[in-house]
Amino acid sequence: MSTESAKQFVKRMQEDKSFADAVEKLGGKEERAAFVKQAGFDFTREELTDASSELNAVDVVGGKCCGRTCEGEIAGRIDI
């Protein structure tokens, strides 16, 4: 498991609306975890939180915002 995988997941959630919608529509934690793993991502809840915080800090310090879902919001909405 890795924080790098979690970062890639967050970026995919931001960039691929159909993927994000599919993840968010899944019913339970186990179902989402299996779907995410099948999509090639492998991380813990803690790694997702760390990755989200790190990516959000980079965007804030760098002065950029995509105008879409913030990384921190993804970690808050997705229970894996």
Q: Model confidence over 61-73: pLDDT tens digits?
A: 444 455 455 545 6
Helix (H, G, I), strand (E, B) or coil at 26: coil
Report the domain count for the chain: 1
pTM tops 0.95, yes or no: no
d(CA 8, CA 41): 8
Q: Model confidence over 6-38: pLDDT tens digits?
A: 999 999 998 999 999 999 898 888 999 999 999
- Residues with Cβ within 8 Å of residue 39, at least 6 apart in sequence: 12, 19
| Domain span holding position 72 | 3-77
d(CA 31, CA 47): 19
Residue 16 DSSP class: -
